[in-house]
A = this chain, B = another copy of it.
Amino acid sequence: MTLPAAPHQPIEFWFEFGSNYSYLAAMRIAALAGAAGVTVLWRPFLLAPIFRELGWNNSPFVLQGAKGRYMWRDMERQTAKYGLPWRRPSAFPRAAVLPMRVAALGMDEPWIGDFCRRVMQQNWVRDREIDDPAAVAEALAGLVSDPQAVLDAAVAPNNKLRLRTNTESASARGIFGAPTFFVGNEMFWGNDRLEDAIALAAAPP
């Protein structure tokens, strides 16, 4: 007699397309979670309102020069370490409301991972403006049957509200930056904690 395998917990991946460390996590999470048998729940939220609550009117990487200069060098090293393509964007942080709304619309759809990786690469590899319907439509191409219908649904009031609700949930749960992972009530901040979060999700209860 064999016992059924213990069910793994899902990992919630809270992210922003304008967040550079979210790029690292977005490109890594599917392979790591898949190898561990863990399901990924993609959870887009807007960072700007979270930063405003902390008293910042911009990214700390812009407000704090030394930290910002360090971050760009760190990104060069981290992307090299992970074997990820990388080009420093000419704009930072890049506005991303439209693709974030599409991500909120599709966050539980089978195309969410591919869509998010494409938008991330538009921003962090191709230096493209991502808050642009043409860019978002291109990221949706081949993933959904009617990209324009998805774009229209993304900007409908009920979906705008969905992204706002995600952002309010992020704040209520104690999120103060991106990426953030949840496994149950355990919160992990930063791409550096991705492996720890997946290990917890895959651990026997």
A interface residues with partner B (beta carbon < 8 Å): 54, 64, 66-67, 69-70, 73-74, 77, 81, 174-177, 186-190, 192-193, 196
Contacts and interface: CB of A to CB of B under 8 A. Distances in A.
Q: Which of A176, A188, A193 has the most CB of B within 10 A?
A: A176
Q: Which 7 A-B pairs give the minimum distances between C-beta atoms?
A: A192-B192, A66-B176, A66-B174, A67-B176, A54-B64, A70-B189, A70-B187
B77 A176 contact: no
Nearest to A73: B187
Given A70-B187, A73-B187, A190-B192, 12 more contacts: A66-B174, A66-B176, A67-B176, A67-B177, A69-B174, A70-B176, A73-B186, A74-B188, A74-B189, A77-B196, A81-B196, A192-B192
A64 B187 contact: no
Contacts of A174: 66, 69-70
A186 B66 CA distance: 14
A67 B66 CA distance: 20
Contacts of A196: 77, 81
Contacts of A192: 190, 192
